[in-house]
Amino acid sequence: MKPKQELKDLWTPVLPKSLSFSSIHQTACKVLHHHLPPLTLLAFRVPVISFEGLNESSRREEIIDEIREASQTWGFFQMINHGVPNCVMDNLLESVRQFHEQPKEVKIEWYSRDHGVRVRYFCNGDLFVSKAANWRDTIAFDFQNGPLSPEALPFICREAVSAYMEHVIKLREVVSELLSEALGLNRDYLKSIESMQSESLVCHYYPACPEPELTMGTTKHSDPSSLTFLLQDSSGGLQVLHQNHWIDVNPMHGALVANIGDFMQLITNDKFKSVEHRVLAGAIGPRVSAACFFYPSARQKFKPYGPLQEFISVQNPAIYREASISEYLAYYKVQGIGR
């Protein structure tokens, strides 16, 4: 899905050339560290959108406008007053921390490098294909083929994961409607095409790093999903690439970070942007986060998706060919983070 080079800013995600109609030569992959100055100026602050008053028509229109602007220009925004209780979010982060701080003899029963295992503990899932390793451990929960029984989850985080997923799935339905309206479509459009009706929860643990300048917590990448919700603790370190600068996504207690994924960029024909982001390694830790990725439903995983007809015209031809989420995820896994 590599976009036409002359139409893209440097911060646009690197998408597979095989899915693009462009045959223009693409730039080579960049090295791990990007010597771009991080900006923390208020002029470069990731948008924060409050969902308070969402059921009031006038406020709803304002929220839709804010989401449209953020999705077109940043690809990222922070959500507050979104309805997920703070205690549910705090409990998830704490349970993830507790899981990772168990003795290795306990964690090893969950260890797997098999992407087909629905609950698995691992380190650097793309270790053999990525250009650099990441300073983190991960436990991932795959809900794409349906719910997981409580017994399938580690006891130490069973209740917290179940409660969190119940709430974020409800929030996903709300945001799906808002994104549809922000695109000028019917409120239920994105749901009707099942563009983000399955989910996986990926929980990272970033230990304190003795030499953080030599590595990354997570190397730069864009998400393969349609949409991602990220819950992060107060440690900081998440940065988004905006106008050729790395911008801090400052932690806000009670906030959830939303970002547009590659598949959403595809179906909107670049109207909404999937942008690169990264996590810095830190001398102080641990840092804990939980990313919930939303994909097309499992029963549609082989369905070809392409730019929606509503976003194609003579002046704006389709940039991407059709591709299934199964095809794109296979590409993503082969390339690895930092592709």
Residues 6+ apart with CB under 8 A from 144: 198, 199, 200, 295, 298, 301
pLDDT at position 329 is: 86
> Cα 46–48–54 angle (5° rounding)?
150
- Record the tokens describing residue 30, joined without a space: 């960049």
- Record the tokens describing residue 206, joined without a space: 């970033």
Q: Is 214 helix (H, G, I), strand (E, B) or coil?
A: helix
- Confidence band of 286 (pLDDT split at 50, 70, 90): very high
In whole angstroms, give the CA distance from residue 276 to residue 239.
9
Taking 50 as the threshold, does the pLDDT of residue 33 lie above it?
A: no
pLDDT at position 336 is: 62
What is the residue type of 78?
Q
- Confidence band of 15 (pLDDT split at 50, 70, 90): low
Taking 90 as the threshold, does the pLDDT of residue 328 lie above it?
A: no
- Confidence band of 34 (pLDDT split at 50, 70, 90): very low
- Confidence band of 220 (pLDDT split at 50, 70, 90): very high
pLDDT at position 213 is: 92
Query: DSSP string covering 248-278, please?
Result: E----TT-EEEEE-HHHHHHTTTSS----EE
pLDDT tens sequence across 115-135: 889 999 998 755 545 566 789
pLDDT at position 131 is: 65
What structural domains does the chain harbor? Answer: 38-298 (2.60.120.330)
Question: Which of 23-32, 235-244, 263-272, 281-290 is least confident?
Answer: 23-32
- Confidence band of 5 (pLDDT split at 50, 70, 90): very low
The mean per-residue pLDDT over the stretch 149-160 comes to 96
Taking 80 as the threshold, does the pLDDT of residue 217 lie above it?
A: yes
Taking 50 as the threshold, does the pLDDT of residue 61 lie above it?
A: yes
- Record the tokens describing residue 13, joined without a space: 């995600």
Predicted structure pTM score: 0.86
